[in-house]
Amino acid sequence: MVVLLGTKSIFWVSYNCGETFRAFNHDKRIEKFELNPTNKNIGLISSINICNFKSDINPCEFHRELFLIDFHDETIKLIAEGIEQFSWYIILINNFIIKFK
């Protein structure tokens, strides 16, 4: 799978090593993207909203959100707000794999 992030809210996904791409429009500025290490059909996307104004009445605020993207269903779902960092974790304990999705 190949994922290309655009400069605004559009990113492209190829399921065939770059032969063809499908465009996804997220409607928000994508800051970071990370595929699940054990399931290529899902990924995490962080977005950041940056306001275009700044005043004493309405101060400019950054608003970060974390989304789960399901490439199989072609859905994007908000899962958390105010996230600064994120990652997938896989822990090996006594030869058992614990997956956090």
The string of pLDDT tens digits covering residues 28-41 is 778 888 888 888 88
* pTM, to two decimals: 0.70
Name residue 93's beta-bridge partners.
Answer: 96
Checking if the pLDDT of 54 tops 60, the result is: no
The string of pLDDT tens digits covering residues 6-23 is 777 788 888 888 899 988
Q: Torsion-angle region of residue 76: left (phi > 0), alpha (psi -120 to 50) or beta?
A: beta
And the tokens for 6? 């655009």
Mean of per-residue pLDDT scores for the chain: 77
Domain range list for the chain? 2-100
| Dihedral pair phi/psi, residue 8, rounded to 5° | -120, -110
Give the angle subtended at the CA of 93 by the CAs of 87 and 99, to the nearest 5°.
35
